[in-house]
């Protein structure tokens, strides 16, 4: 891990310090994704089988998960895990339901009543990664808000295992959310299939879910297609930034850094603190805990991009965090809530020494599908609203038209749009 004294860096060095890993070959990633899209567009299911054979090393005759496979998955899953998934779903329902938007109507002028309608997106496509590790939690994070939004058709894609089956925990999590249309398909080819549609997979109106750089690039390409689907957000490799003071337990901070590092070699973890002693202690703890991890090799590669930053004061740490806009922000501070108003850009915030990011990943109730790579400056995590459209509606009486019509005429003529003005004037004249 790289140790950095922030005050000693110039502007260019600071920008370099906050750069995400793996950006140099982005053009190659995008070119590879375009080739996949071209294959899927041209050859449909035949291309999907060939790409699955190439990237997953599996022959798939039928991508759709059968009812029998769902039953077998439930039977395979340990009872404790089934209970844990159900508990996590319950908390997600509680949190998402509390944050749901509402329809409304309001009189903006006498005789002018305006409102908002909420409608579920008809068909949504969910992507649940299973690259180096299957993520049943992601099936819950996407399935719960889709269910609450009332989406009529939910399609879920997840990569096949070596034996050609879907991960049992992912299937059980999907079933808990009422999802029955699951396909054993991963990577950019899954995104392409949901964007174009094939004889097997339906075309989707909006795509959701995190993934590696190829999946992220595929979602962004899909959103650029003429008539293509919308996407939830740029959600790529995981990242965490920890702001800690001298009182933070080094073992906790080290564990938080490693919990993100083990996601994949392109994950990034950053510690920002005003305590040199804490940096020393955390560095030692990371080395000790790393050796105990089953995914040590993956985490070790991610730690090559890690940063241990020393700042002059905690206030400066928040300026760094807001510039970085982390997916996950942990405030390992003695009075973390008093600093919340300093947070301007982050996907999800964790307060204090007893709120590890892992809880947000699984079962606190908040959603773990969050913007990465600095997108938290403008994007938000997945919510029920992500699965809905908002439609404005207005009803105007004769009196309402008389009250606000002249305002519209004035603005329309200022913009040089006389037909707009006439659409109002002809109605006003008819009332005279």
Q: What is the pLDDT of residues 56-109, one digit of tens each?
A: 999 999 999 999 999 999 999 999 999 999 999 999 999 999 999 999 999 999
Is 96 among the residues known to form the active site? no
pLDDT of residue 379: 95
Q: Which of 190-219 are b and which e, b meaning 16 or more Cβ less than 10 Å from the residue's Cβ?
A: bbbbbbbebeebbbbbbbbbbbbbbbbbbb
367 labeled part of a ligand binding site: no
The pLDDT value recorded for residue 24 is 63
Say which of 327, 395, 399, 418 is annotated catalytic: 327
Does 252 count as an annotated binding residue? no
Q: Does the annotation flag 420 for ligand binding?
A: yes
- Is 205 annotated for ligand binding? no
What mean pLDDT do residues 263-276 have? 94
CB 207 within 8 A of CB 222: yes
Tell me the two tokens of residue 266: 């392109």
Q: Give pLDDT tens digits for 179-210.
A: 999 999 999 999 999 999 999 999 999 999 99
Whether residue 263 is annotated as binding a ligand: the answer is yes
Is residue 305 annotated as part of the catalytic site, yes or no?
no
Question: Does the structure show a pLDDT above 70 at 27?
Answer: yes
Task: For residue 361, say whether it is annotated as part of any ligand binding site.
Answer: yes
Domains and CATH numbers, the chain: 26-232+384-388 (3.40.50.1980), 237-377 (3.40.50.1980), 397-431 (1.20.5.1300)
Percent of the chain predicted with pLDDT > 90: 93
pLDDT at 391 over 90: yes
Does the structure show a pLDDT above 80 at 370?
yes
pLDDT tens figures, 146-157: 999 999 999 999
Measured distance between the N- and C-terminal CA atoms of the chain, rounded to whole angstroms: 78
Q: Per-residue pLDDT averaged across 333-356, rounded?
A: 97
**pLDDT in the model for residue 336:** 98
- What pLDDT score does 356 carry? 97
Whether the full predicted model's pTM is greater than 0.75, yes or no, is yes
328, 357, 395, 429: the active-site residue:
328
238 annotated ligand-binding residue: yes
Q: What is the mean pLDDT of the chain?
A: 96
State yes or no: 260 annotated in a binding site.
yes
pLDDT attached to residue 23: 60
Cα 107 from chain centre: 36
pLDDT tens for 96-127 read 999 999 999 999 999 999 999 999 999 999 99
328 known member of a binding site: yes
């Amino acid at each position: 891990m790289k140790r950095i004294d922030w005050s000693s860096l110039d502007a260019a060095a600071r920008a370099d310090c906050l750069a995400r890993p793996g950006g140099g070959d982005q053009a190659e990633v995008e070119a590879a994704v375009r080739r996949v899209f071209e294959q899927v567009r041209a050859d449909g299911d035949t291309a999907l089988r060939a790409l699955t054979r190439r990237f997953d090393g599996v022959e798939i005759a039928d991508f759709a998960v059968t009812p029998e496979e769902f039953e077998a998955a439930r039977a395979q899953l340990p009872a404790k895990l089934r209970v844990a998934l159900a508990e996590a779903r319950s908390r997600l329902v509680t949190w998402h339901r509390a944050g749901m938007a509402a329809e409304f109507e309001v009189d903006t002028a006498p005789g002018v009543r305006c409102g908002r309608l909420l409608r579920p997106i008809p068909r949504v496509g969910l992507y649940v990664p299973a690259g180096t590790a299957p993520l049943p939690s992601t099936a819950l994070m996407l399935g719960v808000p889709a269910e609450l939004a009332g989406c009529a058709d939910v399609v879920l894609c997840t990569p096949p295992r070596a034996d050609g089956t879907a991960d049992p925990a992912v299937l059980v999590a999907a079933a808990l959310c009422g999802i029955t249309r699951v396909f054993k398909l991963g990577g950019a080819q899954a995104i392409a299939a949901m964007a174009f549609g094939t004889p097997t997979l339906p075309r989707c109106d909006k795509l959701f879910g995190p993934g590696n750089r190829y999946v992220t690039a595929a979602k962004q390409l899909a959103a650029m297609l003429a008539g293509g689907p919308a996407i939830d957000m740029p959600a790529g490799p995981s990242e965490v930034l920890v702001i800690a003071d001298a009182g933070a337990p080094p073992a906790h901070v080290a564990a938080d850094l490693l919990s993100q590092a083990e996601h994949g070699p392109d994950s990034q973890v950053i510690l920002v603190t005003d305590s040199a002693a804490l940096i020393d202690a955390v560095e030692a703890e990371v080395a000790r805990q790393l050796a105990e991890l089953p995914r040590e090799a993956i985490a070790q590669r991610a730690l090559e991009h890690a940063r241990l930053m020393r700042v002059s004061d905690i206030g400066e740490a928040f300026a760094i965090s807001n510039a970085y806009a982390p997916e996950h922000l942990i405030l390992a501070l003695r009075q973390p809530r008093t600093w919340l108003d300093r947070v301007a850009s982050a996907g999800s915030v964790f307060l204090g020494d007893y709120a590890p990011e892992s809880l947000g990943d699984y079962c606190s109730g908040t959603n773990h599908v969050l913007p990465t790579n600095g997108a938290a400056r403008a994007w938000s995590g997945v919510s029920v609203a992500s699965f809905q459209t908002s439609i404005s509606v207005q009803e105007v009486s004769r009196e309402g038209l008389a009250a606000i019509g002249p305002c519209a005429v004035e603005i329309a003529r200022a913009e040089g749009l006389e037909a707009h003005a006439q659409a109002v004037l002809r109605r006003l004249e008819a009332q005279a």
